């Protein structure tokens, strides 16, 4: 019980200060439809290790995150994007 209180107190923001809301990356890229062939736009949503970034990081809505996930998975199947853990030089 006391561990939870100290953890919350440690992560609590200063009074009157709000954290900045994440900006929607799709809107900032000017995209309304996510296409699996647009690998340059999809790489924004993939980490350096090849993993799909979460909604909390990208600021997407649930529906947009599903579209991005599906597009990335389709691009991986078509060998346009790497799977996580694969490096370009190793085979």
CA-to-CA dists, residue 9 to 4, 6, 91, angstroms: 9, 5, 48
What CATH code is carried by the domain that includes residue 37?
A: 4.10.640.10
Parent domain of 57: 20-86
Let me know if residue 4 belongs to a domain: no
Q: Is 50 helix (H, G, I), strand (E, B) or coil?
A: coil
Whole-prediction pTM? 0.70
Let me know if residue 8 belongs to a domain: no
The predicted-structure confidence for 8-59, as pLDDT tens digits, reads as follows: 665 555 666 666 667 888 888 888 889 999 999 999 999 999 999 999 999 9
Let me know if residue 27 belongs to a domain: yes
Q: Count of domains in the chain?
A: 1
């Amino acid at each position: 019980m006391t561990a939870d209180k100290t953890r919350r107190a440690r992560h609590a923001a200063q009074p009157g200060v709000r954290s900045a809301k994440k900006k929607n990356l799709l809107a900032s890229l000017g995209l309304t439809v996510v296409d699996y062939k647009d690998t340059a736009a999809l790489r924004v949503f993939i980490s350096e290790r090849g993993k799909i970034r979460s909604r909390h990081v990208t600021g997407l809505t649930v529906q947009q995150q599903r579209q991005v996930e599906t597009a990335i998975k389709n691009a991986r199947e078509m060998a346009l994007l790497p799977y996580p853990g694969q490096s370009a030089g190793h085979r």
